[in-house]
Amino acid sequence: MGWCEKRRRAAAKPVRFHAVPTLLQGATLVEFEPARVEVGDLRIARGKIVERAPSLTPQQGEDTVDLRGRLVLPGLVSAHHHVHGLVLRALFKDMSFHAAQALMGKVELNLDTGDLQALALSAGLEGLVHGTTSVCVALSAPNCTPGALTHTARGLTDAGARSVVAYELVDAHGAGVLTASLEETVAFLRTAVRSRSTAGVALASLDTLDDEWLSRAAQAPEGLHVFANVAEDGKEEERCTGRYGKTPLERLEQFGLIGPSLVLTQGVHLSWPELSRVLAAGAYVAHSPRANMMLQVGSAPAGKFGVYACLGTDVMPLDVLSEAQAAWLKGRDVEQPIDIVRFLANGHRLASAVFGVTLGPLQPGAQADVMVLDYVPASELSADTLGRHLALGLSSHHVESVMVDGVWRVWRRKPLAQSPTEVAGAARQAVAGIVARAGLGATPA
């Protein structure tokens, strides 16, 4: 039996029981925090890195992989994503932000659990082949609650990705949906395999969401992260102040929601004093520059997002390396440069807190979520030059193989446990059904 077939069979089985002991030999190992580039070997067993050294001797039963001339990097993290953003590829035209929001609202009203699983599987697989191994999903699907979290997480898990699925609390869908989504969130948090999938709470439309739901979000069980979409719309603060007498950020502060368990997404129109309060409390800020540019919502001050700034892909493809490069370029364009290495490292810090395992370091004890790249640097690659290579040289098309929890999920650019053709076909059928039910026009199945 060839290596590729052995890996395909191993990947198709439950990950936590069938990780094959693996020795990665001779790779250039690249870490983000602290920045480090050196040639060495990694020994992987039971889903974790168990040994690292300049040279390791193969052991009986190990799958030994010669990676001389290849880079090994930690798998990347998207801190904010919508799996139903795939539907925009069939529908999106040149439209305003509010028109795009209305379109997404119609899509959300016409999702069913089968759609969510198909879209999540497709999005997750697309992410994996680009080196994205962990994703935080914000979800609204009022007509398939309860069940929305479970089916979305199942699709991402079937793709091989880690996921936190956070149901968006939006009062437009009524108290019954909000109550059911919170109940499902708590139940999912208790039953999910936390190292691979877990639940969160997402807060959207803080200019209309009543205090009751902010209070209930604040009472969520320990370990639950809150993802709050704030200041994407330049008029949100004015509307919120007119209705509640407080800005969205002040409302979050009122209920004690600003702290290390908060991931503030977007933040495009936050003032510097507001950002200072967020950063002082240790909250994360997830930057999604590609979606910001597509929706023309303005330029987020990412250079001021502080020590816990990270990246989200929003409705764009689940390609965090492309997102990082867009963030770096956009920062330079508005004369607010960012540290691309720190943004990527903060994704690992957040994911480690969310999933309760160590993600990011290529060191013993960390989970074996890694990607192999066939990038051959044309100039020196070192800790000092890593940021420039990430911004100007490396790209997701260099991703050759991807491992999650010690199991190869992509090998030589081919997913091992899923057929890309079948996954894409199921996603197209789901999109066609959503479009038809929403009355948004025909789209080919």
Q: H/E/C letters for each residue in 290-320? A: HHHHHHCCCCCCHHHCCCCEEECCECCCCCH
Q: What is the dihedral of CA 384, 386, 392, 393, to 10 degrees?
A: 130
For the beta sheet containing 162-169, the strands, ordered from the edge strand earlier in sequence to the opposite edge, are: 76-81, 132-139, 162-169, 197-203, 226-230, 262-266, 284-287, 309-311
Average model confidence (pLDDT) across the chain: 91
pLDDT of residue 223: 76
Q: What is the dihedral of CA 208, 210, 211, 213, to 10 degrees?
A: -110
- Dist. CA 24–CA 55, nearest whole Å: 10
Q: How confident is the model at residue 95 (pLDDT cuts 50, 70, 90)?
A: confident
Residue 257 amino acid letter: L
Q: How confident is the model at residue 180 (pLDDT cuts 50, 70, 90)?
A: confident
Record the tokens describing residue 57, joined without a space. Answer: 């001797």
Residue 11 amino acid letter: A
- List, in order of start, the domains of the chain with CATH numbers: 3-74+367-412 (2.30.40.10), 76-354 (3.20.20.140)
pLDDT digits (tens, 9 = 90+) for 373-382: 999 999 999 9
- Dist. CA 161–CA 11, nearest whole Å: 12
pLDDT of residue 114: 95
Cβ atoms of 341 and 386 within 8 Å: the answer is: yes
Single pTM value for the model: 0.94
Q: How confident is the model at residue 58 (pLDDT cuts 50, 70, 90)?
A: very high
pLDDT of residue 5: 46
pLDDT digits (tens, 9 = 90+) for 282-339: 999 999 999 999 999 999 999 999 999 999 999 999 999 999 999 999 999 999 999 9
Alpha helices (runs of H) in 192-247, residue ranges in sequence order: 211-218, 236-244
pLDDT digits (tens, 9 = 90+) for 221-273: 877 899 999 999 999 999 999 999 999 999 999 999 999 999 999 999 998 89
Q: How confident is the model at residue 193 (pLDDT cuts 50, 70, 90)?
A: low
pLDDT of residue 18: 62
pLDDT average, residue stretch 119-139? 98
Q: What length does the chain have?
A: 445
